[in-house]
Amino acid sequence: MIVELTSEPIDVPRLIAHVNKPSNGGICTFLGVVRDNAEGRPVVKLGYEAYESMAVAQMRAIVQEAMQRWGLDAVALSHRTGELQIGEASVAIAVGAPHRAEAFEACRFIIDTLKTRVPIWKKEFFQDGAVWVEPVSSQPSAG
Amino acid sequence: MPETKLTPPTEPTGAPATINVRVLFFASLADLMGGRQRSLALAAHATVSDALRELAQSAPDFASRVPHVSFAVNEAFVGADTPLSDGDELALIPPVSGG
């Protein structure tokens, strides 16, 4: 398993190579990339901040849950920190599975769960200021 | 002191009367609190709620943010009634937006 936070551009081929095992028949990847607008308002760049030690621990727990639930032997998950330009990948997931259904489902589960409880925050930079994105609906639950 | 009170101590010998916890702030909370961390002295057996009450003294807008904040002690999500121990790391986690 690869689980990491990185301030460098994500090496997507490395993640794919990690999950390309002989026993796997499908690899599903997901990239979250920096969009040039927030609901129509032009975005010039993004910044990501993490509670790094806890974020990595949460990411590892999510990946382990996915591997157990879908019986996977290889998953890679990488999230960027720091400043990102339009088009750069902020998060990358690669899931290898014997058949495609498990790969798609596990990949979807990992990104959806990451967005609800991994302590990482996005800051949107506009021409005239910046705001932290803190959607109240994504508040993780205690316990 | 030569004169000692006869009242028995409420704490077993060796237990500190106060505890120190390290509080971490992130994203907009770091902006609001003017920094990413703070050391907080609390009464022994203080809970996360007690720490929040203390922090609210130093920032007028803090209390209104608390309903949207999650808490982690030593990197595990906890409820507000969780007791704190000396040396704990209490992280205040605004709604997350990774991905």
Give me the residue spans of the domains in chain B.
18-93
Residues 6+ apart with CB under 8 A from B51: B21, B23, B40, B42, B84, B90
Of A116, A119, A142, nearest to B78 by CB-CB distance is A142
List, for residues A91-125, the tens digit of each pLDDT value.
999 999 999 999 999 999 999 999 999 999 999 99
Of B31, B94, B99, nearest to A115 by CB-CB distance is B99
Contact between chains at B28 and A120 (C-beta distance less than 8 A): no
List, for residues A17-67, the tens digit of each pLDDT value.
999 999 999 999 999 999 999 999 999 999 999 999 999 999 999 999 999
C-beta of residue A80 within 8 angstroms of C-beta of residue A52: no
Chain B positions touching A49 (Cβ under 8 A) are 26-27
CB atoms within 10 A of CB A49: 20
Chain B contact for A60 (CB, 8 A cutoff): no
Give the nearest chain B residue to A46 (CA atoms): B98
List, for residues B64-74, the tens digit of each pLDDT value.
999 999 999 99
Model ipTM?
0.90
Chain B positions touching A50 (Cβ under 8 A) are 98
Q: Looking at the predicted structure, is the pLDDT value of residue B10 above 80? A: no
The band of B14, judged by pLDDT with boundaries at 50, 70 and 90, is low
CA distance A9 to B24: 27
Helix A52-70 to helix A100-117 angle, to the nearest 10 degrees? 150
What does the block give as tokens for A35? Answer: 């969009």
CATH topology of domain B18-93: Ubiquitin-like (UB roll) (3.10.20)
Give the nearest chain B residue to A61 (CA atoms): B76
Chain B contact for A135 (CB, 8 A cutoff): yes
Chain A contact for B70 (CB, 8 A cutoff): yes
CB atoms within 10 A of CB A72: 21
